[in-house]
Amino acid sequence: MKTKFVAVILGVLIVAMMLAGCSGNTSDETYIAVISKGFQHQFWQAVQAGAEKAAVDYEVTITFEGPETEAMVDKQVEMVQAALDKNPAALCLAALDTQALLPLLERAQEEGIPVVGFDSGVDSDIPVSTAATDNLAAAALAADKMAELIGDAGQVAVIVHDQTSRTGIDRRDGFVNQMESKHPNIEIVDIQYGEGDHLKSTELAKAIIQAHPDLKGFFGANEGSIIGVLNAVSELDKVGDIVVIGYDSGQQQMDAILSGAEAGAITQDPIGIGYKCVEAAVKALNGEDLPKMIDTGFHWYDKSNIDDDTIAALLYK
């Protein structure tokens, strides 16, 4: 009996020691779910790299996932629901459609799970903070550059990834509002939505160009959109005739800028966006005060500065 009693005590002590050891390992205890808008663009891979770096620096565990395309709102809703079912310490979310996700955001709030928005963020008061580009200001800069390059007069068109996410809305409105207020001699003849898919965006851009033979400029509001515009301009033999301005990076867009097919683009800081959203989640869990918006910055780049150290560090291939 004495031997049996000693064995039981030793077992209890071993379990207690294991639990004590776990308490000092933040990565075993703090799980943060990170859900992006998609995986189809190199942009999201760069965001993931930033999020994973923050996870290492802050000793937390993350998962990073998103639907196959940025048109799959229902799939993203399912992902958020599955993530909440795992009871994460925090949720980082780039919402495709805030209205569709609102019930799950309310659930997270009720369960005491802080939500941090990133990139397009979440159009709601529930997130404790959002790490994102000031897309209104960035798209306004794209409009100013377009006006400068086409002589501040003429017809232009826009392809946007969607009209439901914060990025889609802000990049469209930032470009349109700047043109209307600062460049009244420029007419925006069409705005179409390509779901961030370069094939669909190509067909939309071709139709716009064919319908407006005097088109002088074309703005693509994300990586998939601008690749579609570039494809359309090339296929219709309009390279050099239409000023093309893009958003984000990626090898195809960078090659187009170097070749002269694209005038330039707005770059965000995707690694910074990923890093800052996870960092903000950790700070929220530690009870730190956070600003409602964490501005991760943007820059204009073209052939003249694409190789500058400041710009090159923000571009992904």
Domain extents for the chain? 10-132+272-297, 135-267
Superfamily grouping for domain 10-132+272-297: Response regulator (3.40.50.2300)
With vertex at residue 123, the alpha carbon angle to CA 226 and CA 135, rounded to the nearest 5 degrees, is: 35
**Residue-level pLDDT, tens digit, the chain, 317 residues:** 434 333 433 343 333 333 333 333 333 579 999 999 998 788 999 999 999 999 999 999 999 999 998 889 999 999 999 999 999 999 999 999 988 999 999 999 999 999 999 998 787 899 999 999 999 999 999 999 999 999 999 999 999 999 999 999 999 999 999 999 999 999 999 999 999 999 999 999 999 999 999 999 999 999 999 999 999 999 999 999 999 999 999 999 999 999 999 999 999 999 999 999 999 999 999 999 999 999 999 999 999 999 999 999 999 88
Q: Hey, do 10-132+272-297 and 135-267 end up sharing a CATH topology, with the first three levels equal?
A: yes
Report pLDDT for 1.
Answer: 41
Report pLDDT for 2.
Answer: 37
CATH class of 135-267: alpha beta
Report pLDDT for 28.
Answer: 53
Report pLDDT for 24.
Answer: 32
Q: Are strands 299-302 and 264-267 parallel, antiparallel or unpaired?
A: antiparallel
Residues 99, 270: Cα–Cα separation, whole Å: 25
Calculate the CA 72 to chain-centre distance.
Answer: 15
Q: Which amino acid is at 243?
A: V
Report pLDDT for 12.
Answer: 36
CA distances from 105 to 59, 91, 110, 294, 316 (A): 25, 9, 9, 20, 31
What is the residue whose two structure tokens read 């959002």?
130
DSSP element (H, E) containing 175: helix 166-182
pTM above 0.85, yes or no: no
Residues 34, 44: Cα–Cα separation, whole Å: 12
Report pLDDT for 94.
Answer: 96
